């Protein structure tokens, strides 16, 4: 088991392994999203309160789940990279940030579209989830801005790792403070917490969508990490052999 | 054999460019290591790497027989650093700057005035450093070395901005330090007139 | 059929949200290989430049 | 020669040394202290001018305006926290000193707070009075700003350490720090505005104090790590 991980942490092995695994992830993702999307739109029964508008849940919830997931992946791998000096794990952090930002944007946009028919407004500051999501987007933007402004990759990796770790300590506090703040004027929420259990017909498509989004995210992430690895390892012999074939001048 | 300070298989890149590769050095008490090389050959980077300000791509440094990594805190107590930038505050005067120095480093309090007199700074103690000339500021940095109790001196281009008298002062001060059993690493592209045990490392 | 598409009057919102999702995911999915091809070209150029120098 | 290893001054003397040096520097360049203060006062004055002098409206927006102005003023002065040390080589000397960098980073943040946050706490009652805020709120405002500005100095020192030497200015620093500073802003401003309607304020004050303690214990480590990375 350890041997497997150790081997995986070496860039050329990872590059090959990820290249093989991405299509499988994509197949699973397409299957899950295909079923979940169809069932969510056409099979699941209409919600007794929200009508058909509730069907947005099937894209909103997976997106917001992954936006937070991506942040934890980013922070954890940044921490691992900083402490154990594993370059690959910095590459994972670098790849996770823009994807996380996209999913956060998606969660915000679908939440806002859902909010319009429910609250009569595109944006409701009283909803703590949307507000936290907005702050999460700012955190991603800060992280990417810091990365972009440091030319040296190794330095950018380490500096942004510190920022990601500081951010991850803050995320629960931000979430808590936004919740406290909105509880002062009882804002409406889109997703009922601890409400009546969802009917299986509604629940299964949601689970399928979450699973599908997760695998899609995995495939996208692995693909991006491969790109990052190429940039980081351009001095290594295996990259040279891979890209230029062997028999070069040196 | 144990050296005071030694480096093995050091390698450093700056961007695409390899500054040095499998570089070795060893230093004992009473010895001076001169790092030679043209501008941009990585002299400063080597010094900063040894001091722990930047990481080498590969290789390791040993200090008193142990791996230096993990012992930097103790090593720094033994280190005195002299670089292009003086590292004092322009808005404060000499005594205020030295007082701050005293709260960070081991410091030879008793001989402050004697050292300043030797460096020709004893009449300038009340002026903010910004009103001192570049050469005088270098002398102020030299005062830090003399007052420090560190045994390992690291100096980057110590002769910049110094006149003839200043240069011979550096030579004399360094020779004295070596004679007392201290050691030094000096990066320079100018000749030193040092009495003592001198080693060299060349960077191309 | 039209009734299903109308989504009980919420059609614009539901289809808007799903459409946006598809667009964002498509950007991510297409962006991957595009970036990768660019990376391969960039890195090739850098390796060649490095070898030309040495 | 190993047994003649030089003695290192105590941690406390290192901490006090750097705080004293930074206060002395601020004393010699009073503009660095006064500019953020004037900025704070002026931004606060912009709102009544822009919104009109109705005293009810001013009372209700006062807490938010004062807190946002304080946040921006703190960011403004944080930008230069490590820049001059970086430029004149003092930062190298700090990194190479035998004192633990964490202690020095804490000293820098505390020093910054004493010359920027503390004066702001002192003048905040004046601004609060001009916003027609009730007496009890003025007290709450000073207390929340006390903990809040200290937290901001500590948090901001991380951002300042990450961006030192990047020459990207205040914009990048704000991008990094503002989202992290949200809890402080939310609790600070809401607590003060709760106090204007005589609601309970202890929850908010406790939260800010707890956040401040967390920042005191963790931020110096992050700042120290960031300084080593930025100065490579």
For residue B104, list chain D residues with Cβ-Cβ distance below 8 A.
9, 14, 17, 93-94, 97-99, 104
Question: Is ipTM > 0.85 here?
Answer: yes
Q: How far D42 CA lies from chain B's nearest CA (Å)? A: 29
CA atoms of D66 and D216, how far apart (whole Å): 24
The per-residue pLDDT for A49 is 75
Q: Strand B79-82 vs strand B66-67: parallel, antiparallel, or unpaired?
A: unpaired
pLDDT number for residue D24 = 93
Q: What is the DSSP letter of A152?
A: S
Is a pLDDT exceeding 90 seen at residue A48? Answer: no
Residues of A with CB under 8 A from a CB of C: 37, 41-42, 46, 51-53, 55-56, 59-60, 63, 99, 102, 105-106, 109-110, 113-114, 116-117, 216, 220, 223-224, 226-227, 230-231, 234-235, 239-240, 243-244, 248-250
Mean pLDDT of chain A: 86
- Taking the C-alpha atoms of residue D172 and residue D152, their distance in angstroms, rounded to an integer, is 16
pLDDT at A189: 55
| Range of the structural domain that residue A164 is part of | 21-42+52-190+201-234
Cα–Cα distance between A109 and C13 in angstroms, integer? Answer: 11
Domain extents in chain B: 5-202
Could you read off the pLDDT of C6-47 as tens digits, one per residue? 777 788 888 899 999 999 999 999 999 999 999 999 999 988
Asked if A152 reaches chain B (Cβ–Cβ under 8 Å), the answer is yes
Residue B97 in tokens: 């700057």
Cα–Cα distance for residue pair A21/D38, rounded to 1 Å: 59
Residues B177-204 have pLDDT tens digits of 999 888 999 998 877 777 778 888 888 7
Per cent of chain B over pLDDT 70 is 100
DSSP D99: S
Q: Which of residues 5-24 of B touch C (CB under 8 A)?
A: 16
Q: What is the pLDDT of residues B30-62, one digit of tens each?
A: 889 999 888 888 889 999 999 999 888 888 899
Q: Looking at the complex, does the CB of residue B161 fall below 8 Å from at least one CB of chain D? A: no
Q: How far apart are CA A38 and CA A187, in angstroms?
A: 32
Is residue C45 a contact partner of residue A83, using CB atoms and an 8 Å limit?
no
On whether the CB atoms of residues D99 and D11 are closer than 8 A, the answer is yes
> Alpha carbon B158 to chain centroid distance?
8
Asked if B85 lies within 8 A of D88 by C-beta distance, the reply is yes
Say if residue A126's pLDDT is above 80.
no
How would residue A249 be classed by pLDDT, with cut points 50, 70 and 90? very low
Average pLDDT over residues A119-131: 82
Number of Cβ within 10 Å of residue A84's Cβ equals 9
> What angle, 0 to 180 degrees and rounded to 10, lies between the N-to-C axes of helices A128-149 and A87-119?
150
CB A167, CB A139: distance < 8 Å: yes
> Does the distance separating the beta carbons of A41 and C14 come in below 8 Å?
yes
Give chain D's end-to-end CA distance (angstroms, integer). Answer: 31
- Tens-digit pLDDT profile for residues D107-160: 999 999 999 999 999 999 999 888 888 888 898 999 999 999 999 999 999 999
Alpha helices in chain B (DSSP H): 43-51, 72-77, 94-104, 112-118, 134-147, 164-179
How much of chain A, in percent, has pLDDT values that exceed 90?
50
At D96 the pLDDT is 92
Interface mutation vs chain A, best among B11, B17, B55, B60, most A CBs within 10 Å? B55
Burial of B63-82, coded b for 16+ CB within 10 Å and e otherwise, reads bbeeebeeebebbbbbbbbb
pLDDT at C49: 86
Output DSSP code: residue B30: T
The CA distance from C34 to the nearest CA of chain A, in Å, is 10
pLDDT on residue A250: 39
Digit-coded pLDDT (tens) for D174-184 = 999 999 999 99
Q: What is the pLDDT of residue A193?
A: 54
* Per-chain mean pLDDT for chain D: 89
Where helices occur in chain A by DSSP H, the ranges are 2-8, 11-38, 57-84, 87-119, 128-149, 153-183, 200-232, 237-244
Q: What is the pTM of this model?
A: 0.91
| Interface A-B: count of C-beta contacts within 8 A | 3
- Whether domain B5-202 has CATH 3.40.50.300: the reply is yes
Span D6-29, pLDDT tens digits:
778 888 989 999 999 999 999 998
Per residue in B114-165, pLDDT (tens digit) is 888 888 888 888 889 989 888 888 899 999 999 888 889 999 988 888 888 8
Task: Work out the number of other CB atoms within 10 angstroms of the CB of residue A246.
Answer: 8
pLDDT of residue A184: 62
| Helix locations, D113-168, DSSP H | 118-130, 135-163
For residue A68, the SS3 value is: helix
With an 8 Å Cβ cutoff, are D21 and B76 in contact?
no
Buried (b) or exposed (e) across A145-172, using 16+ Cβ within 10 A? bbbebbeebbbbbbbbbbbbbbbbebbe
- Decide: D165 and D230 in contact? Cβ < 8 Å: yes
Q: Which candidate from C8, C20, C43 shows the least CB-CB separation from A243?
A: C43
* Structure tokens given for C2: 């039209």
Q: Does C4 contact chain B (CB < 8 Å)?
A: no
- Compare B3 and A143 and report the one with higher pLDDT: A143
Give pLDDT tens digits for D55-72. Answer: 778 888 888 999 999 999
d(CA D143, CA D205): 8
Q: Flag whether A1 is in a domain.
A: no
Chain C nearest C-alpha distance from B10 (Å): 20
Mutation pick from A235, A236, A250 vs chain B, by most beta carbons of B within 10 Å, is A235
Task: Provide the residue ranges of all domains of chain C, joining segments of one domain with +.
Answer: 27-54
Between D56 and D95, the more confident residue is: D95
Residue A14 lies in a domain: no
Query: What separation in angstroms does the CA of D187 have from each of B91, B102, D64, D136, D201?
Result: 39, 41, 10, 17, 10
Are chains D and C touching, using the cut-off of 8 Å on CB pairs and a minimum of 3 such pairs?
no
Cβ D176–A149 below 8 Å, yes or no?
A: no
Residues 17-36 of B with CB under 8 A from D: 29
Residue D1 above 50 pLDDT? no
β-strand partners of B153: B80, B184
D46: part of which helix (H) or strand (E)?
helix D30-51
Residue/partner pairs of C20-26 with CB below 8 Å, 24 or more apart: C20/A106, C20/A109, C20/A110, C20/A113, C21/A59, C21/A63, C21/A106, C21/A110, C24/A102, C24/A105, C24/A106, C24/A109, C25/A106, C25/A216
Banded model confidence at residue D50, pLDDT cuts 50, 70, 90: confident
Q: Where are the beta strands (DSSP E) in B17-91?
A: 17-27, 31-36, 58-63, 66-67, 79-82
> Chain B closest CA to D156's CA: distance in Å?
23
A76 belongs to a structural domain? yes
Give whole-number Cα distances, D126 to A63, D120, D142, in Å.
Answer: 47, 10, 11
Mean of the pLDDT values across residues A48-52?
77
> Do C39 and A231 touch, CB atoms closer than 8 A?
yes
> Would you call C49 an interface residue with chain B, using a CB distance cutoff of 8 Å?
yes
Q: Has residue D194 got a pLDDT over 90?
A: no
Closest C-alpha among A28, B76, A148, A246 to residue D92: B76
pLDDT number for residue A248: 46
Give residue D169's pLDDT. Answer: 67
Domains in chain A, number: 1
Is A83 exposed, middle or buried (CB count within 10 Å of its CB: 0-12, 13-18, 19+)?
exposed
| Chain D: touching chains (3 or more CB pairs < 8 Å) | A, B
Residue B107: beta bridge partners?
A: B148
Q: What is the pLDDT of residues A154-205, one digit of tens each?
A: 899 999 999 999 999 998 898 888 888 877 655 555 565 555 567 788 888 8
């Amino acid at each position: 088991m350890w041997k497997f991980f150790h081997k995986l942490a070496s860039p050329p092995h990872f590059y090959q392994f990820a290249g093989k695994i991405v299509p499988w992830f994509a197949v699973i993702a397409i299957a899950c999203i295909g079923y979940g999307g169809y069932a969510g739109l056409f099979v699941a029964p209409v919600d007794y309160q929200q009508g058909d508008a509730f069907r947005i849940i099937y894209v909103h919830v997976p997106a917001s789940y992954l936006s937070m997931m991506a942040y934890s992946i980013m922070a954890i791998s940044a921490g691992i990279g900083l402490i154990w000096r594993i370059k690959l794990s910095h590459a994972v952090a670098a790849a996770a940030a823009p994807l996380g930002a996209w999913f956060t944007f998606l969660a915000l946009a679908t939440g806002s579209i859902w909010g319009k028919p429910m609250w009569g407004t595109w944006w409701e500051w009283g909803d703590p989830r949307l507000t936290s999501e907005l702050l999460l987007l700012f955190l991603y933007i800060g992280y990417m801005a810091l990365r972009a402004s440091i030319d040296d990759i190794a330095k950018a990796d380490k500096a942004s790792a510190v920022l990601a770790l500081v951010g991850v300590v803050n995320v629960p506090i931000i979430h808590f403070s936004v919740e406290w703040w909105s509880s002062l004027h009882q804002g409406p929420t889109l997703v009922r917490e601890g409400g009546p259990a969802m009917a299986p017909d509604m629940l299964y498509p949601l689970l399928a969508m979450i699973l599908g989004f997760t695998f899609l995210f995995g495939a996208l992430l692995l693909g991006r990490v491969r790109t990052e690895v190429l940039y980081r390892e351009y001095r290594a012999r295996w990259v040279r052999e891979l890209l230029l074939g062997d028999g070069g001048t040196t | 054999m144990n050296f005071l300070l030694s480096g093995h298989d050091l390698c450093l890149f700056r961007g695409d460019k390899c500054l040095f590769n499998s570089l070795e050095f060893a230093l004992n008490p009473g010895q001076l290591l001169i790092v030679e090389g043209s501008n941009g050959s990585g002299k400063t980077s080597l010094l900063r790497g040894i001091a722990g300000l930047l990481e080498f791509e590969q290789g390791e440094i040993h200090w008193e027989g142990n791996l230096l990594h993990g012992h930097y805190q103790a090593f720094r107590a033994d280190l005195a650093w002299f670089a292009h930038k003086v590292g004092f505050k322009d808005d404060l005067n000499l005594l205020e700057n030295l007082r701050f120095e005293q709260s960070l480093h081991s410091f030879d309090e008793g001989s402050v005035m004697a050292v300043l007199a030797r460096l020709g700074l004893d009449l300038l103690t009340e002026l903010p450093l910004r009103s001192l000339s570049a050469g005088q500021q270098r002398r102020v940095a030299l005062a830090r070395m003399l007052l420090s109790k560190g045994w390992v001196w690291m100096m980057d281009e110590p002769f910049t901005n110094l006149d003839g008298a200043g240069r011979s002062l550096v030579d004399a001060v360094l020779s004295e330090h070596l004679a007392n059993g201290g050691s030094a690493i000096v990066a320079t592209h100018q000749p030193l007139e040092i009495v003592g045990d001198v080693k060299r490392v060349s960077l191309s | 059929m039209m009734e299903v598409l109308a989504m009980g009057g919420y059609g614009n919102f539901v289809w808007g949200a799903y459409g946006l999702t598809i667009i964002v995911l498509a950007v991510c999915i297409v962006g991957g290989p595009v970036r990768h091809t660019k990376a391969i070209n960039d890195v090739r150029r850098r390796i060649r430049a490095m070898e030309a120098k040495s | 020669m190993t047994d003649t290893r030089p003695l290192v001054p105590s941690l406390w003397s290192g901490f006090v040394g750097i705080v004293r040096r930074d206060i002395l520097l601020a004393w010699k360049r009073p503009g660095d202290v006064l500019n953020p203060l004037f900025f704070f006062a002026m931004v606060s004055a912009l709102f009544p001018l822009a919104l009109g002098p109705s005293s009810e409206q001013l009372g209700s927006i006062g807490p938010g305006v004062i807190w946002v102005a304080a946040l921006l003023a703190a960011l403004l002065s944080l930008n230069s926290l490590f820049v001059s040390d970086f430029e004149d080589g003092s930062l190298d000397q700090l990194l190479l000193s035998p004192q633990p960098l964490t202690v020095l980073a804490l000293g820098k943040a505390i020093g910054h707070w004493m010359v920027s946050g503390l004066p702001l706490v002192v003048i905040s009652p004046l601004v609060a009075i001009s916003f027609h805020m009730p007496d009890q709120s003025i007290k709450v405002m000073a207390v929340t700003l006390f903990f809040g500005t200290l937290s901001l100095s500590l948090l901001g020192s991380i951002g300042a350490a990450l961006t030192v030497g990047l020459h990207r200015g205040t914009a990048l620093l704000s991008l990094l720090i503002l989202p992290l500073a949200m809890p402080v802003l939310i609790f600070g401003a809401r607590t003060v505005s709760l106090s204007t309607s005589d609601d309970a304020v202890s929850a908010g004050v406790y939260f800010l104090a707890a956040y401040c303690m967390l920042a005191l214990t963790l931020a110096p480590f992050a700042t120290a790590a960031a300084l080593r990375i930025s100065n490579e």
